[in-house]
């Protein structure tokens, strides 16, 4: 007699699973926390308030090259009658004061320096040479060459960073450039990570018998951090209903999202679903027609969403990307249209062969250099426990349902690892 009879499962196609996640995220909007944060720590956060330029950007006409500032018309005349010769009338360096450009003259200028009044072009040093007190130019210039007019990047008062934008390195630099030293941002969501299984020991321990080291805590924590969230690993939960229930309750109480690894399949000692039911969980689906990752679960309990991902590490990796990432985007404050990432397109460099399965499957591939699109080559792969292949992979190839062969040169769907 089974100790944990399997409950009826609601298995759905991948597209339906992802649509269900989006529907629930919209139906139960996150209570986002907002704080002012030092600009040096803001990268990775989502802006809670738009930011505007206090003055035009750039604040002055700025040279984009080292060279000579001049009037294009003066240079045309010099090329026609004086062999391209203009008088050198001074120098402006980055951070220096601008000066007036005299007629039939040029001014030496450095990258980032303000354009002299009256100039309308910059000619690079490479196209000129000094002769005495003059500069001789080898080619003409057009008005607008090699400088950025004042306010061209952004007008004074215009929005330079909209609300809901996740800040990356360039955004952090823009904060500094407009003097915003304490932007208003959404807090990073906190994600409790709970791995389950009697077979697991900590990475610093030596496994005995059929025990294995816990890889999923590190794997999932890295994925969570890469999404801009805060991982909160919990102690390994043993296959014991009471211990598991205590750990689940803690994860739901302490975090914005609970991600469980293992224990939600139909095995004799898979107690996770029953423990969640006792906590009042509502299950939106508890199996997805994909491989690896079929026994993936998504639900809500005690006002928090939870996922239960399969225990095999490649399954956890794939299902995190396909199913968990949208929830982290929502909990971070990103707008709904960005929650679900579409698959990317690539070209298959060499033929893929595998069993024709009644579900969508994902296999690790490496990316090759060259070509107008990413080019993918399948890797040797030994199933959802093969972390060696997953660690070598740059991406995962989507193999359509019922497909046992994809020809070299085919356009395929994939997601980056």
Instruction: With a cut of 70, list the residues of the chain below it in pLDDT.
Output: 1-8, 264-270
- Kindly state the tokens that stand for 388: 């060696």
By the 8 A CB rule, do 404 and 355 touch?
yes
Residue 369 is predicted with a pLDDT of 86
pTM greater than the 0.85 cutoff: yes
Residue 5 is predicted with a pLDDT of 44
3-state secondary structure of 237: strand
β-strand pairing of 360-368 with 290-291: parallel
Residue 371 is predicted with a pLDDT of 78
Distance CA 357, CA 291 (A): 9
**CB neighbours (10 Å) of residue 31?**
8
By the 8 A CB rule, do 120 and 143 touch?
yes
Q: Roughly how many angstroms between the first and final C-alpha of the chain, as a whole number? A: 42
Domains and CATH numbers, the chain: 11-33+188-338 (3.40.980.10), 35-55+161-186 (3.90.105.10), 62-148 (2.170.190.11), 344-416 (2.40.340.10)
Across the beta sheet with 190-195, the strand order is 230-233, 190-195, 257-261, 304-309, 297-301, 282-285
Residue 271 is predicted with a pLDDT of 83
Distance CA 294, CA 310 (A): 8
pLDDT tens readout for residues 192-235: 999 998 899 989 999 998 898 999 999 999 999 999 999 999 99
Distance CA 295, CA 4 (A): 16
**What residues pair up with 121 in beta bridges, in sequence order?**
70
């Amino acid at each position: 007699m089974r100790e944990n009879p399997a409950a009826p499962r609601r298995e759905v196609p991948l597209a339906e699973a992802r649509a269900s996640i989006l529907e629930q995220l919209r139906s139960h909007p996150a209570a986002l926390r907002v704080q002012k944060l030092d600009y040096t720590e803001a990268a990775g956060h989502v802006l809670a308030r738009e930011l505007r330029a206090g003055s035009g950007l750039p604040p002055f006409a700025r040279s984009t090259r080292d060279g000579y500032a001049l009037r294009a018309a003066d240079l045309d005349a010099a090329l026609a009658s004086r062999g391209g010769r203009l008088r050198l009338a001074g120098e402006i360096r980055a951070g220096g004061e601008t000066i007036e450009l005299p007629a039939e003259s040029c001014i030496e200028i450095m990258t980032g320096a303000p354009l002299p009044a009256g100039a309308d072009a910059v000619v690079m040093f490479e196209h000129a040479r000094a002769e005495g007190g003059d500069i001789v130019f080898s080619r003409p210039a057009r008005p607008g060459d090699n400088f950025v007019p004042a306010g061209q990047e952004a007008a004074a008062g215009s929005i330079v960073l909209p609300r809901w934008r996740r800040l990356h390195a360039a955004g952090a630099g823009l904060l500094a450039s407009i003097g915003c030293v304490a932007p208003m941002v959404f807090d990073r969501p906190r994600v409790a990570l709970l791995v389950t299984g009697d077979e697991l020991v900590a990475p610093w321990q030596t496994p005995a018998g059929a025990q294995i080291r816990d890889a999923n805590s590190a794997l999932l924590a890295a994925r969570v951090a890469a999404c801009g969230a805060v991982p909160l690993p919990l102690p390994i939960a043993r296959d014991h209903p009471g211990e598991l229930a205590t750990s689940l309750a803690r994860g739901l109480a302490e975090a914005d999202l609970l991600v469980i690894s293992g224990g939600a399949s139909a095995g004799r000692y898979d107690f996770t679903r029953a423990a969640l039911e006792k906590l009042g969980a509502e299950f939106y689906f508890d199996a997805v027609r994909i491989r690896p990752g079929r026994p993936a679960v998504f639900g809500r309990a005690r006002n928090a969403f939870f996922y239960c991902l399969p225990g095999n590490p490649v399954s956890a990796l794939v299902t995190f990307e396909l199913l968990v990432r949208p929830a982290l985007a929502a909990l971070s404050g990103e707008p709904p249209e960005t929650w679900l990432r579409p698959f990317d397109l690539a070209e298959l460099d060499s033929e893929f062969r595998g069993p024709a399965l009644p579900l969508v499957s994902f296999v690790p591939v490496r990316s090759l250099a060259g070509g107008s699109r990413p080019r993918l080559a399948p890797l040797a792969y030994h199933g959802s426990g093969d972390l060696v292949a997953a660690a070598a992979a740059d991406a995962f190839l989507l193999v359509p349902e019922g497909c046992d062969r994809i020809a070299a040169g085919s356009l395929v769907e994939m997601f980056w690892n």
